[in-house]
Structure 1
Amino acid sequence: MAAGVGLFLVYNAVMLYLYDASEWLVASIDAVIALISLGITWWTLKSFKLFSQRPKFSRSMKIWGLIALVTVMIMMILNGFFQNLPLLFGSNDFWLITVIALATGIFEETLCRGLFFSGFLDHTLYNGSSFRFTRSAIYSAFLFGGFHFVNFLGGNPAVVFQQMFWAFVLGVFLAALRVATNTLVWGILLHSLLDWVPSISGPIRQSGTSWWELIAVFGPIFIASLIFLVSADQRYLKIPAENA
């Protein structure tokens, strides 16, 4: 947990220092910090796994996990991810966008679903708390959403609050994905894919969307992910997370 806090503080200090730097310089520093975070996470946790052998899913876990994944795919479709792919591949900034997306996925997943999620999981295990996976997912997702608070420096407050909301929801889903796949790898790949859009290298978007639309899209993701995590807690009640 301390390593995660230190990484977060260093990252934000560096980004503030490079506020007016070129996008390629910022992307390069992002990539270096992401690789350092990856190494520290591996060194701290000794593995990206939660279990030495992943327990079998119950039928309800399979159903709710599939629902959560499908709702995320629907969210990507509604956000125009697939429609933007031709623009992405035709962009002069293709490699810049790719580096930023990969660096963001690696850094934020190793930090939030790696160090922080595992830290909270250790804490709940040590204190004998119930719903260990669910609590740890929510706590780490709150931190993940809170990280977007720094966007208040150059963004519309209404838009930033919306970013914090959907980041929290996706944080819960990505924690559920780590439990489901027993690794950080798939979370890193999906997170990078979600950020692999032309707008990631541009300024912060100043226009938001309707809260009702956000809730309609992200509400099902949150509910399905939460039910999956609760089911995991019930299923794995007597099985400690060995490498978290």
Structure 2
Amino acid sequence: MKENIKKKDFGIRVIVGFVIFFAVFFGGDWLVGKSLYGVSNKVGGTCLRVSLGILCSIYTAKVLKIKIGFKRDDFFRGLMMQTPIWLIAVFFSVINVVKLSGKMTTSEFFVNCAVWSVYALAVGFFEEVLCRGLLLNGLCVMLEGKKNPVIVSIVLSSLIFGALHFINVIDGSASFIETAIQVVYTTVGGIVFAMAYKRSNTIWSTIVVHGFLDFAVFMGKPF
């Protein structure tokens, strides 16, 4: 009985923490989008994500008593498990370099890449800490004693990670069809990230690959 109460209390903390951090992120990102433009917009978005990522890490460690895994144990193993994703990122990077050639001066190109790379790493940092560090680990604890708790947690957390991208419809940054496609491939990507994270015991590899993929997609967009 006491064990059930403890698990219920833990589950509430996981859900409440996840919802609060995502809600603050959504509201903060909306404000940044409405008040800042150009490079300032990306700087504001980067600061927001890094700040929330750090706070989420502290919440996960201190309140949930979960170690996210900021050591570099098996970092390269994690990278290798995500090979399909970073190969896709390389492909998109090449396409965008070709696309941007002739449209920007060399200095403009490097400034564009520098801004997007920092922003993309911040995106990867926050989303990995929130969806893998807090949510995935939280679900694993909540489902202890059930059948295949890690596999179920990986699938559930990845479905939630993918579904979160529906906010792109709400804020008007993408159509419903575009967002639905994004939800599918981010869910699949989430499964790959989650598997690599659980096998490598470090979140750094998923942050790096996630950030690289976002950079490969973002770099072709003006800011």
> Where do residues 201-220 of structure 1 align in structure 2 (5 Å cutoff)?
202=221
1:23 aligns with 2:38: yes
* 1:49 matched residue in structure 2: 69
CA distance in 1, matches of 2:181, 2:69: 31
CA distance in 2, matches of 1:14, 1:69: 30
* 2:128 matched residue in structure 1: 109
Cα offset for 1:27? 2.1
* 1:133 matched residue in structure 2: 150
1:33 aligns with 2:48: yes
What TM-score results when the alignment is normalised by the length of structure 1? 0.67
What residue identity is the alignment partner of 1:102? L
CA distance in 1, matches of 2:41, 2:110: 19
Q: Contact (CA 8 Å) 2:161, 2:186: kept in 1 or not?
A: yes
What residue identity is the alignment partner of 1:49? G
User: Higher helix proportion, which one?
Assistant: 2
* 1:145 matched residue in structure 2: 162
What residue identity is the alignment partner of 1:130? K
Cα 1:200–1:7 change in 2 (3 A) is farther
- Superposed CA offset, 1:118-147 (max 9, x none): 11111101xx11211111111111111111
Pairwise CA RMSD: 2.9
* 2:64 matched residue in structure 1: none
* 2:142 matched residue in structure 1: 123
* 2:17 matched residue in structure 1: 3
What residue identity is the alignment partner of 1:75? I
Can you give the 5+ residue segments of structure 1 that lack an aligned partner in the other structure?
55-61, 204-244
CA distance in 1, matches of 2:84, 2:47: 33
Q: Provide the secondary structure at the position in 1 that maps to 2:33.
A: coil
Cα offset for 1:43? 2.2
Cα 1:23–1:179 change in 2 (3 A) is same
Comparing 100-109 with 147-156, greater Cα deviation is found at 147-156
CA distance in 1, matches of 2:217, 2:97: 9
CA distance in 2, matches of 1:83, 1:202: 12
Q: Contact (CA 8 Å) 2:86, 2:212: kept in 1 or not?
A: no
Q: Contact (CA 8 Å) 1:37, 1:111: kept in 2 or not?
A: no
What residue identity is the alignment partner of 1:143? I
Cα 1:96–1:169 change in 2 (3 A) is same
What TM-score results when the alignment is normalised by the length of structure 2? 0.72
Cα 1:186–1:81 change in 2 (3 A) is same
What residue identity is the alignment partner of 1:17? L
Q: Contact (CA 8 Å) 1:145, 1:167: kept in 2 or not?
A: yes
* 1:14 matched residue in structure 2: 28
Q: Provide the secondary structure at the position in 2 that maps to 1:197.
A: helix
Cα 1:13–1:38 change in 2 (3 A) is closer
Q: Provide the secondary structure at the position in 2 that maps to 1:9.
A: helix
CA distance in 1, matches of 2:38, 2:151: 37
CA distance in 2, matches of 1:36, 1:11: 10
Cα 1:106–1:70 change in 2 (3 A) is closer
- Percent of counterpart pairs with the same letter? 20
